[in-house]
Structure 1
Amino acid sequence: MRCSRFMLFAGLLLAVFCRLPHARVSAAEPSSKPNIIYIMSDDMGYSDIGCYGSEIDTPNLNQLADSGIRYTQFYNTARCCPTRASLLSGLYPHQAGIGHMMSDRGHDGYRGDLNRNCVTIAEALRPAGYRTYLSGKWHVTKKIDPKSDADKKNWPLQRGFDRFYGTIHGAGSFFDPNTLTRDNQYISPADDPEYGPEQQANGQYYYTDAIADHAVRFIQEHHVDDGEQPFFMYVSFTAAHWPMHALDKDIAKYAGKYDAGYDAIRKARYEKMIKLGVIDPDATELFPIEERLKETEFWDWDKRNMEVYAAMVDSMDQGIGRIVGALKDTGEFENTLICFFQDNGGCAENYGRGPKGKPRADKPTLEPLAKDYLQPQMQPRQTRDGYPVRVGKGVMAGGADTYIGYGGAWATVSNTPFRLFKHYTHEGGISTPLIVHWPNQVKRQGELDSTPGHLVDLMATAVDVGQATYPKTAHGGQAIKPMEGKSLAPTFRGQQIPERALFWEHEGNRAVRMGNYKLVARGAKGKWELYDLSNDRSEQHDLAESKPAKAKELAAAWQAYAERANVLPLNPKRPK
């Protein structure tokens, strides 16, 4: 999908008539209800896009921010699948059955499958006349290798989506992703008649491009097939989750960009964030990066990891630009609410960063894979053309035969100026940008908004602006838990929403925010720490001992939440 927009649309229009028996051209007036597009990136930190402080080139997100609102105190849930469960359901993740990851830990809050006590945004909007689309990562079911249709009960089409292209599992190669699926059927990226080399960037499959290109396809085919209806689309990128995989043309753009090192890049981001107004220098300290996280012996290797990471973010932004272009081409841009956010903070996991790795072979050493071979593993053993996949220090990231994460020092840079990372409920683990853009309704162009918000608010927002009715029962009469969030729509007009407490728990890491005060603990046995975020958002000055009454008040609020929201027992282990 690299030709001009006009040629692309004409080709897709022809494809619709040739390929889809139900295709029709509607003469009806467009819907007065807005289209809604929620775009989420993966394993990115608060400062990783240009309009929040980064040196990475993200012109399309920057433009959406310049014409919309940037929220500076919005939150996710600290981890990939709990965030997806919370976003989709409008509940805290344990209430939706996914308090941890995709395994059953023997308690209702930890089943590892999206439960039937919730509805997804797609299920809530469909009765209001919306068509529903998903392109990208799903990751809210443990049934990734289904033996029957019953095993697919929590796949996208069975949870309210009309069309789906993406992966059921949570991580994988960007060049050969496992569990790649169209609608309900696994497909091979090397043997896909609907998305072959002629549609791919330089004839090469790259998952970030594929996600964006299918989002474009859904917009354009919706315009032809169902233009009288509004649509909801969830675009769930896997960039910039490990492995550090990117196209050569994008990596080349960042060659030498990180030569100055971790501290210099982080300081430059901090200063840019202050200049942009994203952070208050009086409320955020730029504390040192832990020395133990810095790579010294293999610096050129680790510098390369960040160059590839930047290329991944850049590629995602290019895809978002194509999505915006498709909206403009179909006349839907003005009446589309676009929200961009992230699933957790930067990732300090050391995947692939072990002992020194092996050099690349001069030629393939394994048999090539058949085109229709379905990749079963998160980390493939080999590339399609027969090169072994390599990990370890010194293995230069980027290509399909590598599988490397970017590590704790760069994750600290990503999370500038906050503490800790993905997994943790300190600000570095749960803070996300939120960009809101909707020309028909959002007139606060380029403004910053400090309203504290949470992913649970996005269900409430969709139901509000989509004029939908959130159900009390669904799935054959099953009782549905009430929404936990508040619609953000009043803030689009500069109004306030009621102040409320926000809660977190993941792997024993837990937190509650009420007003400007936040109580947070690291690990199930960690002691409570208390911070006044109005003057200490980087969480450096613990007030738990000096303000014991406030700490006690917030701890009681968290305990009440944990008891009602299926959080307890705290961080249970898998049954043996």
Structure 2
Amino acid sequence: MKLNRTVLTVGFSAMAIVTVIGLSGLKKAAVKPADNRPNIVLIMADDMGFSDVGAYGGEIPTPNIDGIAKSGIRFTQFYNTSRCCPTRASLLTGLYSHQAGVGQMAEDPFGNAADDPFHWGTPAYQGFLSNNSRTIAEVLKPAGYHTYMTGKWHLGMHGQEKWPVQRGFEKYYGILAGASSYLRPAQPRGLTYMNQNLAAPDSAYYTTNAFTTNAIDFIREQKDDKPFFLYLAYNAPHWPLQALPEDIALFKDKYKVGWDAIRKARFENQLKQGIFDKDFKLSNRDERVRSWDKLTPVEQERVSYRMAVYAAMVYRMDQNVGRLINHLKKTGKYENTIFIFLSDNGACAESYDEQGSGDTSLINSPKYSSVSYGMGWANASNTPFRKWKNRPEEGGMTAPFMISWPAKAGKTYQPGSFNRTLCHLIDLMPTFMEVSGAKYPGTFNGKPTPELQGRSIMPALASKPLSVHPYLFFEHENNCAVRKGDWKAAKAIKDTQWRLFNLATDRAEEHNVAQQHPDIVKDLNDHWQEWAVKNGVLNKKKS
């Protein structure tokens, strides 16, 4: 009897199949029902501003990312934690970053477990993911999902127990550190595959391309039809400024018009797209940034080139998002995949120079350096908001966020629509649990796991309203904020007075109305203080 490959894939051994067929030609081996749960692809940009992609008003060509928005839903009030590693901790655990052990920064590549500068000795500030928190991968994997990650980890380095494979990811390729060279990542800011640190590449290399290639390979190598969760965490466009020459050439003259003209054009495009209504007011240019016409011609040439390189980095990321989507289309996996694209914080102004840090000669040097594009362009990247990464203003903590499920587009939700409900990173874990049927463990190693803080945003993909967060809380590097409905208060932790803004009429945060509403300030302060005490926010270091 000849047995073909199709028969053998039912799940029986060849001997068992021969026996079954020999006994009765009418008997058929039981076939396990197909798993129709969707794949989940979570794509995160690093230090990319609110308006850098076309779907949020930008002029950088990003057709593939924009395609996710056109087939999905764009959120206009989605919050992060305003900094790379706390955002990653909150995103992966469904907790506030302090609950997950990363209230400040993750471990430094040059430290060690004994004396790392970010081991502050308290649970909220230990510098790596807490052992009792559970990652999305650790929750989805027992529910039958394959779990893959490529890209930037930034949640613990010293000891493999803190690495992605030990935190639920079946396969991992990327950088453990918070930043690296795009062209030649070298240890201790180098590449890691699974649990092995790799030598620096000795041939042409670019992280954005490599992260995507490995993500596609992980999916291609999958031997079954189980759904997968892919977390693709690009390091683009985080400094250092490093881009492919052919990409830079596309933008070399584009930004000579200056940051004022770019801000104006982006804002007009945002109004045209309907991201904001016609009554929305553009924030003033940051007070530490001069108008473009006050820069000398030499300064304009120097700093416009930096923005060209930054734009090239965003462009290359979009091209790679397209590579991934095309692979999923070719393999029939696209329609039943949920796509999410977001940024981890607002655009980065580090090291707080108007025109960027580091000498121009360092741009595209394969060596790692902190060469950046400066406050002027960060302010433009975050159009229409104030400030940038690490700040409690909207420019620091508001992310572009879009979600699509092609199989449901036009059926259960309107593709290309907006959702204006207040949302946060803590909502992603409950979202993925709802769509996968995964259960959140109540205990781990005999200890209770922290209670999840968010709620699912899946109703948005069924054209249903989302429940409202009563309050949302923020603190990073002593920058504090609390939001309730349209009211937002912000201050430095040492300050006694909160600034208060009504974001329904002043999302540009130009008008502090704290004196007019002392009752609202008191309510927001009381709830923030309660949250801060409960989550160890104020107990920063061991005395």
TM-score (norm 1): 0.82
Aligned to 2:363: 397
Asked if 1:336 corresponds to 2:337, the answer is yes
Aligned to 1:497: 466
Asked if 1:214 corresponds to 2:225, the answer is no
Please state how far the C-alpha of 1:29 moved relative to its aligned partner.
6.5
CA contact (8 A) 2:267 2:282 kept: no
**Correspondences of 1:436-447 after superposition (within 5 Å):** 436-442=403-409, 443-447=413-417
Matching residue's letter, 1:450: R
Please state how far the C-alpha of 1:524 moved relative to its aligned partner.
3.4
Aligned to 1:87: 91
CA contact (8 A) 2:90 2:426 kept: yes
Please state how far the C-alpha of 1:352 moved relative to its aligned partner.
9.5
2-structure distance, mates of 1:288, 1:433: 20
Please state how far the C-alpha of 1:502 moved relative to its aligned partner.
1.1
Gaps of 5+ in 2: 1-30, 107-117
Aligned to 1:327: 328
Aligned to 2:194: 183
Asked if 1:406 corresponds to 2:417, the answer is no
2-structure distance, mates of 1:397, 1:528: 40
Matching residue's letter, 1:413: A
CA contact (8 A) 1:134 1:164 kept: yes
2:146 to 120, 124, 131: 131
SS at match of 1:70: strand
Matching residue's letter, 2:232: V
2-structure distance, mates of 1:135, 1:437: 21
Please state how far the C-alpha of 1:119 moved relative to its aligned partner.
0.2
2-structure distance, mates of 1:167, 1:524: 35
2-structure distance, mates of 1:522, 1:398: 36
1:158 to 156, 163, 166: 166
**Correspondences of 1:121-520 after superposition (within 5 Å):** 121-143=136-158, 151-177=159-185, 178-190=189-201, 204-222=204-222, 225-227=223-225, 229-292=226-289, 296=296, 297-350=298-351, 392-395=358-361, 397-400=363-366, 403=369, 404-442=371-409, 443-474=413-444, 476-500=445-469, 501-520=471-490
Give the direction of change, closer, same or farther, for the CA distance of 1:418–1:187 in structure 2 (3 Å limit). Answer: same
2-structure distance, mates of 1:538, 1:352: 22
1-structure distance, mates of 2:101, 2:368: 34
1-structure distance, mates of 2:56, 2:532: 33
Give the direction of change, closer, same or farther, for the CA distance of 1:449–1:279 in structure 2 (3 Å limit). Answer: same
Asked if 1:560 corresponds to 2:530, the answer is yes
Gaps of 5+ in 1: 1-26, 144-150, 192-196, 198-203, 356-390
Matching residue's letter, 1:458: L
2-structure distance, mates of 1:291, 1:127: 51
What is the root-mean-square deviation in Å for CA atoms of aligned residues? 2.0
Q: Decide which moves more: 166-175 or 288-297.
A: 288-297
Matching residue's letter, 1:392: G
Please state how far the C-alpha of 1:142 moved relative to its aligned partner.
4.4
2-structure distance, mates of 1:312, 1:347: 14
CA contact (8 A) 1:427 1:537 kept: yes
TM-score (norm 2): 0.87
CA contact (8 A) 2:100 2:133 kept: yes
Asked if 1:549 corresponds to 2:526, the answer is no
2-structure distance, mates of 1:473, 1:565: 18
SS at match of 1:326: helix
CA contact (8 A) 1:351 1:405 kept: no
2-structure distance, mates of 1:98, 1:159: 15
2-structure distance, mates of 1:173, 1:353: 23
Larger radius of gyration: 2
Asked if 1:73 corresponds to 2:72, the answer is no
Matching residue's letter, 2:456: S
Aligned to 2:16: none
Matching residue's letter, 2:455: K
2-structure distance, mates of 1:284, 1:29: 54
Identity of aligned residues (%): 44
Aligned to 1:533: 503
Matching residue's letter, 2:197: Y
Asked if 1:44 corresponds to 2:48, the answer is yes
CA contact (8 A) 2:354 2:375 kept: no
2-structure distance, mates of 1:91, 1:298: 44
CA contact (8 A) 1:444 1:493 kept: no
2-structure distance, mates of 1:430, 1:353: 21
Please state how far the C-alpha of 1:526 moved relative to its aligned partner.
6.5
Aligned residues, how many?
490
Please state how far the C-alpha of 1:425 moved relative to its aligned partner.
1.2
SS at match of 2:335: coil
Matching residue's letter, 1:541: H
Provide, for residues 158-187 of structure 1, a one-character-per-residue CA deviation record: whole Å limited to 9, x for no partner: 000000000110001101122310000011
CA contact (8 A) 2:283 2:510 kept: no
